[in-house]
Amino acid sequence: MKNKSSWLFLLGLIIIYFITLIFKPSKFYEALSYFSNIMLIILPIFILILILMVLINYFVKTKRLIKILGKNSGIKGYVLVIISGIISSGPIYIWYPLLKNLNEKGMKKGLIATFLYCRSIKIPLLPLLILYFGLPFTIIFNLLIIIGGIAQGIIFDIFKIE
């Protein structure tokens, strides 16, 4: 087994749920209902990410991907991940498998960090940010997020953080 701790964690959860079912069935069914509701919300996003992964694997050639997101990616790579981070939606943990897949194909960790950082800019929430804090604040705030994301990515790449 490559990752034994993951299986141990899953086994621990199953045991906890089984014990809960025996001693507090109402809590078990409440937890099961909560889990089901969350799964119904995130399942479409899981499917979307799966489709994206399949499309990337099928259409995007590894050489082209490494050129855009690899060691010598440059400004194009940062622009791509900043825009992707801003327009991405859904829970962050849904994106982890796709990012891992891209990393295995050669995407730099710094670009992953920048993508994750820039996800905090949410286009649907910009009007509210402008309403509450004004346009100048919103522009400067979002520019600083982008600059921070780039800085974080560069730091990851400088220190070769794995």
Chain center to CA of 122: 14
How far apart, in whole angstroms, are the C-alpha atoms of residue 141 and residue 131? Answer: 14
pLDDT single digits (tens) 60-109? 666 676 777 777 778 888 998 998 888 887 788 888 888 888 888 888 89
Full-model pTM: 0.64
User: Do 12 and 88 share a structural domain?
Assistant: no
User: Do 53 and 72 share a structural domain?
Assistant: no
**pLDDT over 90, % of the chain:** 35
User: Do 157 and 109 share a structural domain?
Assistant: yes
Which amino acid is located at 16 in the chain? Answer: I
Q: Say which residues have a Cβ less than 8 Å from residue 80's Cβ, sequence separation at least 6.
A: 68, 69
Exposure string (b/e) for 41-80, b if CB count within 10 Å is 16 or more? Answer: eeeeeeeebeeeeeeeeeeeeeeebbbbbbeebeeebbeb
pLDDT single digits (tens) 12-64? 989 998 999 999 999 999 989 998 988 888 888 778 777 877 887 777 666 67
- pLDDT at residue 23, as a whole number: 93
* 3-class SS of residue 104: helix
How far apart, in whole angstroms, are the C-alpha atoms of residue 88 and residue 120? Answer: 10
State the residue range of the domain holding 155. 61-162
Angle between helical axes of 4-23 and 25-59 (0-180°, round to 10): 150
User: Do 66 and 1 share a structural domain?
Assistant: no
Contacts 24+ apart (CB under 8 A), 5-11: none
Give the pair of three-digit tokens for residue 31.
């937890």
User: Do 149 and 160 share a structural domain?
Assistant: yes
The total of structural domains in the chain comes to 2
Q: Tell me the average pLDDT of the chain.
A: 86
How far apart, in whole angstroms, are the C-alpha atoms of residue 31 and residue 37? Answer: 10
User: Do 107 and 51 share a structural domain?
Assistant: no
User: Do 6 and 48 share a structural domain?
Assistant: yes
**Residue 118, pLDDT above cutoff 90:** yes
User: Do 33 and 92 share a structural domain?
Assistant: no
User: Do 121 and 99 share a structural domain?
Assistant: yes
Give the end of a domain, one of 39, 59, 79: 59
How far apart, in whole angstroms, are the C-alpha atoms of residue 73 and residue 36? Answer: 41
